[in-house]
Structure 1
């Protein structure tokens, strides 16, 4: 999901990567603008968030020919210190009036380009820190607290915005949104059969297995401006994509992880016609069966040994049209 600026050298045959920046900038904002007006979908109850606590881990990348002397001549006259980048990001968290991670990245990226004219391009990316409201006693039983939150280890929203200058104006050149670290276990209704059997094969076919997957999903909009959340009915929340993944996992009796992620991708493209493409990285963490002599569907399972398998796959609207 990363991009770097590359230029032809004097011979015109090689390419140069040249950028620098700051990463792992943790920024927290309380009482940010709520995310409202999200279009509901059948697979999810998510229709918005209060943004009482809004946190991101941000990465900043500067690009431009003006930075070459800092590499080749130890000339720092055009260098913006990465510590200054950190402080810039933290300051802008108080200025941003939007409600999404992608919108914040776009806002800060534009401010960087407006403030430092010699910077040609800037790439901003972030992983959102998830927080859960905690239940507390209320008038009608337990209800979510609007003050106390749990730092969650659950899946995280991801955003990346790559800004270039077009006729002197900051413009979105590329954009990616996503949700990472989805972990799902389905205890039955999964199989893995029909693969090549040869002298290297030791894995037995499984007609019904407990399947444990880790999943990252990324998507790109046909119009990158939709990623900013300024028209919330066209914004695709990470929470809804996560919910689509788990609903399809529940519905489908799949014969492979490849089949599963393809079906998830079709559903995502069906639900969001504003998306151009969707991309997956899945990891197979399926537990190993050690007892199958118990009554009914009961089994005893253990953690799998390393190494583990993975799958990467991308889809666009042509896959949906072919169905």
Structure 2
């Protein structure tokens, strides 16, 4: 009996820095965020591409590279597409890359693409009148740790490129709330050492992902239907700030409902949250609000939630399956 093969190869972490791209304008405002658009003077990102298919099997079995698109060529195409791309979103850029590969190379019929924003917020500079303003030409790579992301799975369908899976996201969010969170009434047995905490500081790491009911809305051609990662960040932060949660599970459920309420064009939202809450060590004798916390050890709790809009199945939502 012969071997069975599952084949893929590609290029990872291709850095791209595009200056003076198409601005993003016309997004719908939401009450929780001041974000209304971005200038895209600097678009910095890393891109991954992976191609699948037995067409490339001879390269593995007999060293025949006649069907292989070199990963160096992949890198060059990704960079060149950043120049040719006339859209305003990273999802649209990723789609343009995928369409180019499938349209150009007949042997490429199944690809997976990912893009991660490299955050460069505008630097704050003097405005010449005694105040400060965001620079139009200077950007800082040390100003923000969380980033937008997008993933697409594309295949050749009836001879043309088509998106069969997609997911956008905002990853690496870190939020620390000093009061207004609780964790009580959980299972108690001989293994329980954690006390009930009716008011605790809560520190979370948070990755948020979302899927559109129509993937075309991700590409920004209809900006009022586009969901900006900046607004998603701000909505989650606003919910955290105003909501008294009984657990992280309780919190991310509230965040998910708020996102689906604000964006009817979304089919699904998904969360991966880490509990990074620090343990209390000391409390001031003079003022009990003054406390010191520290890291007890490196373990942490992880909480996930996938919230699909009523009437949508996971397959209908075309949720990302890895």
Which band: TM-score by shorter chain?
Answer: over 0.9
1:186, 1:208 → 2: CA distance?
A: 11
Corresponding position: 1:214 with 2:205: yes
Query: Does the C-alpha gap of structure 1 residues 135 and 284 become closer, same or farther in structure 2, counting only changes over 3 Å?
Result: same
Of the candidates 124, 138, 142, which is equivalent to residue 148 of structure 1? 138
- CA distance in 2 between counterparts of 1:36 and 1:299 reads 45
User: What SS is found at the alignment partner of 1:131?
Assistant: coil
Q: Output aligned runs, 1:38-49, within 5 Å.
A: 38-49=27-38
Distance in 2, Cα, partners of 1:107 & 1:44: 29
Tell whether the 8 Å contact from 1:266 to 1:319 is kept in structure 2 after alignment.
no
Deviation of 1:319 (Å)? 9.6
Q: Which runs of structure 2 are paired with 1:50-89 in the superposition (5 Å)?
A: 50-89=39-78
Q: Is the 8 A contact 2:9 2:51 kept in 1?
A: yes
Choose the corresponding residue for 1:226, options 202, 208, 217.
217
> Per the alignment, in what secondary structure is the counterpart of residue 262 of structure 1?
helix
CA distance in structure 1 between the aligned counterparts of 2:311 and 2:254, rounded to whole angstroms: 11
Figure out how many residues of one structure are paired with residues of the other and give that number.
309
* Bigger mean CA deviation after superposition, 78-87 or 179-188: 78-87
Is the contact between residue 159 and residue 178 of structure 1 (CA under 8 Å) also seen in structure 2? Answer: yes
What is the CA–CA distance in structure 2 between the aligned matches of 1:176 and 1:126, rounded to whole Å?
A: 11
Q: Does 1:112 align with 2:104?
A: no
How far residue 17 of structure 1 moved from its aligned partner, in angstroms, is 2.9
Range 192-201 or range 137-146, more displaced: 137-146
Aligned residue for 2:299? 307
Of 113, 120, 124 in structure 2, the residue corresponding to residue 124 of structure 1 is 113
Query: Which residues of structure 2 form unaligned runs of 5+?
Result: 313-322
What residue is the counterpart of 1:32 in the other structure? 21
Post-superposition shift, 1:258? 0.6
SS at match of 1:44: coil
Q: Which residue of 2 aligns with 1:285?
A: 276
Q: Which residue of 1 aligns with 2:191?
A: 200
Deviations 1:202-261 (A, max 9, x none): 112211111000000000000011111110000000000000110000111101101000
SS at match of 2:269: strand
What CA deviation, in whole Å up to 9, does each residue of 1:130-181 have, x standing for no partner?
A: 1111122225421111011111332100001111111101011111100000
Structure 1: unaligned runs, 5 residues or longer: 1-8
For 2:245 and 2:27, the matched residues in 1 are separated by 31
Partner SS, residue 318 of structure 1 = coil
Aligned-residue RMSD, C-alpha: 1.7
Deviations 1:256-299 (A, max 9, x none): 10100000000000000000000110011111101134414221
Instruction: Compute the TM-score of the two structures, normalised by the length of structure 2.
Output: 0.92
Deviation at 1:129, TM superposition (A): 0.9
Determine the C-alpha separation between the residues in 2 that align with 1:118 and 1:142: 54
User: Matched residues in 1 for 2:174 and 2:110: separation?
Assistant: 35
Q: SS of 1:27's equivalent? A: strand
| Structure 1, 131-140 or 121-130: larger mean CA deviation | 131-140
